[in-house]
Amino acid sequence: MVEYPAKRIDYREQGSGPTILFVPGSWSTGALWRGVIALLGDRFRAVTTSLLGYGDTEERRTPDDVSIEREIDVIEAVIQRTNSAVHLVGHSYGGTVCLATALRDRTKIASMTLIEATPFNLLRHSGDLGLYEQVRAMSDAYVRSCANGNLLAARNIIDFYGGDGSFDTFGARARDYIVATTPTNILDWSSAWCFDVPLAAYVDITAPSLLVRGERSHPVVQRAAEVLNDAISRSSLVTVPGASHFMIATHASDVARLIREHVATVETLR
């Protein structure tokens, strides 16, 4: 556990070797990565955390302060706790937070692996207005539905990312957790929409970056990965066959292999 400042931040680590910091997305905790970490073996120091309002990480945003800077504070505190340069691995909204952390550039980031990252404002800057308007309309409708008391409004988000019926494939415990933390997810969307930097800013990211998307992922996520790949100078883009947004669970072996290979390559060059 990290105390910073006077607020708890989820922190767990295992193993030894190059430090990999795993950042989950919305509705997730560090436990999301257990399967992937197990497949990596004992060659790495695996550190996990949770974003604001999930797991043991206390919320510090308010409706009047939804800046993604508050999320960056969490990641930077965890990196400082590791006392090493880290290989950042982020999924979904967690990938967006990793990008924002790299752009603030106050900590040592050896590399990044961004899996299904969701910096959707990029689609507006890249001229993909149809895709941008599609995801913005979906997000706005979701927020209105929550405000109107729809306890299962989150179903639309899960199905948007994973395809129709995805929410119903989750176990009862996962569905209950999603419903219970929907107010936190509303804040996540606000934080994500407030993260809006020009495409030219991404050239300042110098960490070697691997962008991972699923073959069956939603077009807005696929296109966001392409735009990022064009914007970040030291990046590469990989598409996982048969995978969609929740590939951490469904394609853990592919995800672990990609992380292992990327980190090993960067460590060799270092």
pTM of full prediction above 0.75: yes
At residue 269, the pLDDT reads 82
Banded pLDDT at 6 (limits 50, 70, 90): low
Lowest mean pLDDT among 4-13, 21-30, 189-198: 4-13
Q: Nearest to residue 117, comparing CAs of 130, 99, 136? A: 99
| Structural domains of the chain in order of their starting residue, each with its CATH number | 2-120+199-269 (3.40.50.1820)
How many secondary structure helices (H) and strands (E) does the chain include?
Answer: 12, 9
Using CB atoms within 10 A of its CB, is residue 171 exposed (0-12), middle (13-18) or buried (19+)? exposed
The Cα–Cα gap between 175 and 170 comes to: 6
Residue 197 pLDDT > 70, yes or no? yes
The sheet with strand 235-240 has its strands ordered as 12-14, 45-48, 19-23, 86-91, 109-115, 209-214, 235-240
CB 204 within 8 A of CB 192: no
DSSP letter (8 states) at residue 65: B
Percent of the chain residues past pLDDT 70, beyond the cut? 98
User: Which residues are within 8 A (CB) of 199 and not within 5 positions of it... i.e. 6 or more apart?
Assistant: 122, 125, 126, 227, 231
Q: Nearest to residue 22, comparing CAs of 97, 89, 114? A: 89
The Cα–Cα gap between 22 and 154 comes to: 24
Q: Hunting for tokens 């107010």 — which residue is that?
A: 183
Neighbours of 143 (CB within 10 A): 14
Structure tokens given for 29: 């905790």
Radius of gyration (Cα) for the chain, nearest Å?
Answer: 17
| pLDDT tens for each residue of 112-126 | 999 999 999 999 999
CA atoms 235, 190, 54, 105: torsion sign: positive
CB 85 within 8 A of CB 20: no
| pLDDT tens for each residue of 48-72 | 999 999 999 999 999 899 999 999 9
